[in-house]
């Protein structure tokens, strides 16, 4: 079996981390994050708090990825430390919901924006256009890793430049919005408001661990992975805080609370309506960039690693002899994503798995508590990045994940929804599939 080549440098890996985190979240979730908080300070602290949580995770994954500098990310860490069963469950949820569902949502959203720029494409239904996007990006990432990574880096640079242009317009413009204090709801429990704000913020930061999934394709992982994971997370946090400060400067807190398109409202508030078309392009590029990275990394590399470890069909673990990419895993991911787009309500499916997804991230980080105690030779120690403030970092991350999970559950209960139960149902199905796989496939 061919092995992937280590061809990705620091710029490529950092672009993946930053590009994957900065998707549609900062544009579409900023208003929802602002809705439950009582003042500007609490909002900014919530965004900093979300970045701090992501940074804790990045510190931990930096060590895990240098201990196990192979392809697979969270699946690999769970398999190495806790064994095949929890690793399979993570891989199962990634294949069925986590990653393929996220790809489907991003593809459908990208297709809707694509139709705004090219009205002629409206002859195609949104799911069909989304299918073309999924197949197109999958085809690019079936080529050499360098090709997909360079393409991705270009999208990330364009996106960051566009965001700072928007920030420049908002800070440089004169707000026409009259200050209002009556519309800002003063809540009796600011702690609860902070907790509720962290729910959309958590999703805006999702993707800080993406470089770990392609650890087997990164040059000098001992130095590159920590710098990419930590540096990309810090850069994203800074960008998110600056963007939110620009929104507050343009409209005030009440102007964006609960609004789906906070950037559009902010641009109109400073008299920059002529830039709204540019904003649409920026959102399209941002979402497409996240779509591209998700297709290239998390889902496909987990499927590849599952095949390599024997907990899924072995053909998915094979790497193409010429391109050195997991073409089979990428195609399996694309096919299942397309099925999801046509037969199910994808957004509800992803929402249903939220709590399970957060808790799996905590379980992955908890592996550090076990492997950090193992004895290593001096040479092995030289190749490992050590998590600072151990065990504070992984413990606080795990506690934060529990805190956010409880916030998600409370939110759904307050809406009369039992969506989290559906996520647990898919997890139970995964347990049954694993037992069948063990009994009927592996013993043949």
How much is the average pLDDT of 106-114? 85
How much is the average pLDDT of 397-401? 91
- Enter the pTM of the model: 0.83
At residue 280 the predicted structure's pLDDT band, cuts being 50, 70 and 90, is confident
Closest to 353 measured CA to CA, from 306, 405, 287, 396: 405
Check residue 444 and give its pLDDT.
52
Least confident of 1-5, 174-178, 218-222, 315-319: 1-5
At residue 167 the predicted structure's pLDDT band, cuts being 50, 70 and 90, is very high
24 or 88, higher pLDDT:
88
Check residue 148 and give its pLDDT.
66
- pLDDT reading at 240 higher than 90: yes
**354-371 vs 74-82: helix crossing angle, rounded to 10:** 50
- pLDDT reading at 441 higher than 70: no
Note whether 353 and 93 are within 8 A (CB). Answer: yes
Check residue 110 and give its pLDDT.
86
Judged by DSSP in three states, 178 sits in coil
**Cis bond leading into 391, ω under 30°?**
yes
Handedness of CA 349, 354, 360, 364 (dihedral sign): positive
Check residue 52 and give its pLDDT.
92
Judged by DSSP in three states, 258 sits in coil
Ranges 30-39, 77-86, 113-122, 224-233, most confident: 77-86
How much is the average pLDDT of 287-303? 84
Check residue 216 and give its pLDDT.
65
Judged by DSSP in three states, 174 sits in coil
372 or 136, higher pLDDT:
136
Measure the CA angle with vertex 344, ends 340 and 348; round to 5°.
105
341 or 116, higher pLDDT:
341
- pLDDT reading at 22 higher than 60: yes
- pLDDT reading at 395 higher than 60: yes
Check residue 430 and give its pLDDT.
93
Residue ranges of domains in the chain: 10-441
Instruction: Give the C-alpha separation, 278 to 194, whole Å.
Output: 32
The alpha-carbon radius of gyration of the chain (Å, integer) is 21
Judged by DSSP in three states, 209 sits in coil
How much is the average pLDDT of 22-49? 86
How much is the average pLDDT of 139-148? 78
At residue 245 the predicted structure's pLDDT band, cuts being 50, 70 and 90, is very high
CATH code, 10-441: 1.20.1740.10
Q: Distance between alpha carbon 262 and the CA centroid of its chain, in Å?
A: 21
How much is the average pLDDT of 50-69? 88
Note whether 64 and 73 are within 8 A (CB). Answer: no
443 or 265, higher pLDDT:
265
Closest to 326 measured CA to CA, from 138, 69, 64, 184: 138
Check residue 184 and give its pLDDT.
46
């Amino acid at each position: 079996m061919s092995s992937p080549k280590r061809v990705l440098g620091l710029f490529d890996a950092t672009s993946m981390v930053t590009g994957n985190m900065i998707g549609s979240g900062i544009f579409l979730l900023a208003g929802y994050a602002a809705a439950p908080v009582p003042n500007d300070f609490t909002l900014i602290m919530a965004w900093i708090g979300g970045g701090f949580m992501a940074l804790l995770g990045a510190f931990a994954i930096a060590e895990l990825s240098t201990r196990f500098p192979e392809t697979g990310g969270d699946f690999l860490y769970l398999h190495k430390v806790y064994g095949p069963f929890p690793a399979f469950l993570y891989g199962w949820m990634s294949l069925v919901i986590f990653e393929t569902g996220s790809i489907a949502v991003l593809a459908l959203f990208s297709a809707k924006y694509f139709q705004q720029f090219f009205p002629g494409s409206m002859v195609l239904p949104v799911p069909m256009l989304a299918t073309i996007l999924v197949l197109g990006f999958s085809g690019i990432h079936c080529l050499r890793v360098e090709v997909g990574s360079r393409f991705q880096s270009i999208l990330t640079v364009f996106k960051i430049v566009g965001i700072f242009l928007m920030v420049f317009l908002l800070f440089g413009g004169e707000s026409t919005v009259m200050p209002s204090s009556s519309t800002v709801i003063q809540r009796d429990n600011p702690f609860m408001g902070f907790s509720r704000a962290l729910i959309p913020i958590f999703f805006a930061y999702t993707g800080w661990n993406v470089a770990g999934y392609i650890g087997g394709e990164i040059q000098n992982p001992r130095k590159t992975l920590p710098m990419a994971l930590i540096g990309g997370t810090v850069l994203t946090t800074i960008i998110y805080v600056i963007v939110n400060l620009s929104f507050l400067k343009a409209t005030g807190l009440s102007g964006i609370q609960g609004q789906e398109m906070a950037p559009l409202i902010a641009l109109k508030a400073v008299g920059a309506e002529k830039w709204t078309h540019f904003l649409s392009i920026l959102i399209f590029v941002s979402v497409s960039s996240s779509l591209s990275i998700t297709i290239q990394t998390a889902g496909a590399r987990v499927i590849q690693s599952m095949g390599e470890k024997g907990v899924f069909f072995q053909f998915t673990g094979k790497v193409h002899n010429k391109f050195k990419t997991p073409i089979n895993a990428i195609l399996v991911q694309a096919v299942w994503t397309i099925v999801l787009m046509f037969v199910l309500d994808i957004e509800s499916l992803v929402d249903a798995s939220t709590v399970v997804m957060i808790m799996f991230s905590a379980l992955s980080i908890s592996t550090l508590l076990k492997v950090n105690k193992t004895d290593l030779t001096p040479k092995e120690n030289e190749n490992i990045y050590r998590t600072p403030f151990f065990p504070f970092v992984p413990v606080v991350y795990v506690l934060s994940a529990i805190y956010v999970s409880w916030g998600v559950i409370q939110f759904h209960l307050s809406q009369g929804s039992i969506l989290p139960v559906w996520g647990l149902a898919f997890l139970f199905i995964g347990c049954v599939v694993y037992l069948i796989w063990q009994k009927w496939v592996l013993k043949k």
